[in-house]
Structure 1
Amino acid sequence: MKTKMDVKVLGEKLKTLRLKKGFSQDELAESAGVSLRTVQRFENAETIPRGDTVKRLFQIFGMSPDEVLDWSQTEDKGFLLGMNLSGLIFLVFPLLGVVLPLVLWISRKDKIAGVSELGRKLVNFQLTWTLLYYVGVTIYGWSYKYFMLGGNGDISPSSVEGVVWFRMGMVLTIYVIVSVMIAWNTYRINKELSVKYFPKINFLK
């Protein structure tokens, strides 16, 4: 929900763009298909405009809905840092490493600038490696049952050792990748750079 301050910021941005392009309020209203009174009240922050009205007015100047939305959001680097670091819960419980960032993303995506981009990239990254983790655990379980319970009951120590090392290597590799990427992007957020999570599958667009 937009606050009075959000509406004031949007109104000022609209007025700045309109004057820069040499549009009168009447010309802008006609081009966007809204009333002159709507434009006047919007620029003066006298009312909270509907979402479709905001988009129609700003699209006259080639602004995308996402760019318009960013203007009504607050800056909160601390939240972005905390949200990014929440992915480290993966080291304790992999599935929670997806759920916690997802909840934080949904709760603030329309309120804090940068949350939508970070949330999408972080959750896709966590989903990718959580899936790999559980696929690896499943393969380990099958291998363990095969070598420990299969055949005529004879167990080869080297086979069992190989299975154990497979699990340890898999888990360690995934944990290192997740930890390094989260640490690197925490640094990037702190330096106000864009986040870059890879490799990942873009499950969520």
Structure 2
Amino acid sequence: MDSKALGVKLKTLRLKNGFSQDELAESARVSLRTVQRLENSEAIPRMDTVKRIFQIFGMSPDEVLDWDQKEDKSFLLGMNISGLIFIVLPLLGVVLPLILWMSRKDKIAGVSELGRTLVNFQLTWALVYYLWTAFCHWLISYFKLSGSGDVSPDIVYNYLHIRVCVIFFIYLMEILMVCLNTYRINKGLKVKYFPKINFLR
């Protein structure tokens, strides 16, 4: 179960049983902030915290989560860092995280959510990269066809300068987002990749 579904289930049970967030936190011996973060899907929950909270409602962990999933932060970190392969070849930045996601999505807690978010982000920026590259090639071809067949050095210089600046920006976004989310995973927080188009839901 991903953190969003867990948050919805927790809030529904809490309200149904007449608990305030404060009362639930006190009964489960966790902080109020922990309950709030779980309900708002702001953090990847720890198994022992989930057990303590849901035991208040008389539920066993097996009724709440799919417990054949194991916690493996190192896999999540590795999967997240695999997005940096985008720098070598943008398409690989989509394919490698997708393979890692598909191979472990039912086995490791948090992989499903991270995989979906990371692949959507990588797809978005790979699309931007390839569309921009295609546009730049079309532009040079257009100048060649519309003129005598020769392109002036100024046009080539401006083309290369703009192309390099945009590609540098795309790579910078990739590096910053991967580093930010590596930090967030390490702290047990929910990943936040943006901007992205949600191709996969």
TM-score with structure 2 setting the length: 0.68
Is residue 48 of structure 2 the alignment partner of residue 68 of structure 1? no
Contact 1:140 1:166 in 2 (8 A): no
Alignment check: 8 A CA contact 1:147 1:160 kept? no
1:86 pairs, out of 82, 85, 102, with 82
Alignment of 1:1-205 (within 5 A): 20=58, 58=63, 68-69=65-66, 71-205=67-201
Q: Which has the higher contact order (CA 8 A, sep 6+)?
A: 2
Q: Name the CA distance, whole Å, in 2 between partners of 1:19 and 1:75.
A: 23
Between the two proteins, the alignment pairs up a number of residues equal to: 149
Equivalent-residue separation in structure 1 for 2:114 and 2:199 (angstroms): 14
What displacement does 1:154 show? 4.5
Distance 1:148 1:165, change over 3 A: farther
The answer (yes or no) to whether the contact 1:125–1:197 under 8 Å persists in 2 is yes
Question: For 2:57 and 2:153, how far apart are their aligned partners in 1?
Answer: 79
Extract unaligned runs of 5+ from structure 2.
Answer: 1-46
Q: Report the TM-score, using the length of structure 1 for normalisation.
A: 0.67
Structure-2 separation of matches of 1:149 and 1:195 = 47
Take 1:168 and 1:96, find their aligned partners in 2: how far apart are those partners? 20
Q: 1:99-149 deviations in whole A, cap 9, x for unaligned?
A: 000000011001100000100000000000000000001001111222345
- Helix, strand or coil at the partner of 1:198: coil
Shift of 1:188: 0.5
Give the superposition deviation at 1:153: 3.1
Deviation at 1:19, TM superposition (A): 7.6
User: Within 1, Cα distance between the matches of 2:107 and 2:162?
Assistant: 44
Percent identical: 58
Give structure 1 regions of 4+ aligned residues with deviation exceeding 6 angstroms.
none
Q: Distance in 2 between matches of 1:142 and 1:105?
A: 35
Shifted more, 132-141 versus 148-157: the winner is 148-157
Q: Distance in 1 between matches of 2:176 and 2:128?
A: 17
- Deviation per CA, 1:15-70, whole angstroms, max 9, x where unpaired? x759838xxxxxxxxxxxxxxxxxxxxx8xxxxxxxxxx8xxx4xxxxxxxx522x
Quote the RMSD (CA, aligned, Å).
2.2
Mark the structure with the bigger radius of gyration. 1
Q: Distance in 2 between matches of 1:154 and 1:82?
A: 48
